[in-house]
Amino acid sequence: MEPPSHASYGRFARYYDQIYDGIVDYEGDVDFLERVFRRFRRRPRTILDLGCGTGNHDLPLARRGYEVTGVDRSPAMLVRAREKSVAAGIQVRFVRGDMRSFDLGKTFDAAVCMFGAFGYLLTPRDIERCLRSVRRHLSSAGLFAFEFWQGSAARPSPYPSWTHKRDPDLEIVRLEVSRFDPRTGRLPIEFRFFVLRHGRVLDRFDEVHVVQTHDRDEMRTLLRRSGFELAGAFAATNTKKGFEPATDETFRAMAVARPRAQS
């Protein structure tokens, strides 16, 4: 049985923003996306965000004047996204949907899929279904910017790490073990969460997230089969993105794809 193509992000969703605050530079990501638009001579007005999560890219995009639609499969993540949108007084359309197959009834000038969301597509069939759905929703001059992880730069298994976040009211400890399988390119990540207040455990749970890694040649082929061409693949981190070409030592690659002319 194949593992699910998306993590559940149930209880994790409650703490997602606190955990990644300061770890991911969301405003910097949006700065980079605007640099991508300029580099490829595009001036998008409407943007589709796949795997939008709690809206951390959507709100700054909307704040900068774009009309944004975010799609995510997790109801818990979308609840947080809508709460934040209302609290900030920023209008974003959030839709619950599966990025492998969706129909929003309109086309967009650009589409994005940031951080690890694309990696939750675990099979070539799922990836091609997603890419074809994106292609149907893009204008002929549209761009698709998305991040994918490369197996060539994955850390050897098992690789333990941990995250510790503290604010005046809450303390979160997340223990992580990743177990990369070079045969399949799969990267299962086991998370153990401990949430404390004044030294007392308030919440304790585990989640396993499975991410599919790729290489640039494989991604180029998948894109071509789905009606795209790979315009560029650039080295990236959580906090810095630029136009340095991705190499085999690049773990996080930012890809820019554009629709191929229909024959």
Indicate the pLDDT class of residue 6, thresholds 50, 70 and 90: very low
SS3 labels along the chain: CCCCCCCCCCCHHHHHHHHHECCECHHHHHHHHHHHHHHCCCCCCEEEEECCCCCCCHHHHHHCCCEEEEEECCHHHHHHHHHHHHHHCCCCEEEECECCECCCCCCEEEEEECCCHHHHCCCHHHHHHHHHHHHHHEEEEEEEEEEEEEHHHCCCCCEEEEEEEECCCCEEEEEEEECCECCCCEEEEEEEEEEEECCEEEEEEEEEEEEECECHHHHHHHHHHCCEEEEEEEEECCCCEEEEECCCCCCEEEEEEEECCCC
What are 223-235's pLDDT values in tens digits?
A: 999 999 999 999 9
Domains of the chain: 12-152+213-259 (3.40.50.150), 153-211 (2.20.25)
Look at the chain and count its residues: 263
**How much is the mean pLDDT over the chain?**
94
**Is the pLDDT at 3 greater than 70, yes or no?**
no
Closest CA to 50 of 141, 107, 117: 117
The residue-averaged pLDDT of 21-32 equals 95
pTM value > 0.85: yes
What are 41-68's pLDDT values in tens digits?
A: 999 999 999 999 999 999 999 999 999 9
End-to-end CA distance of the chain: 37
* Burial class of residue 23 in the structure, from the number of CB atoms within 10 Å of its CB (0-12 exposed, 13-18 middle, 19+ buried): exposed
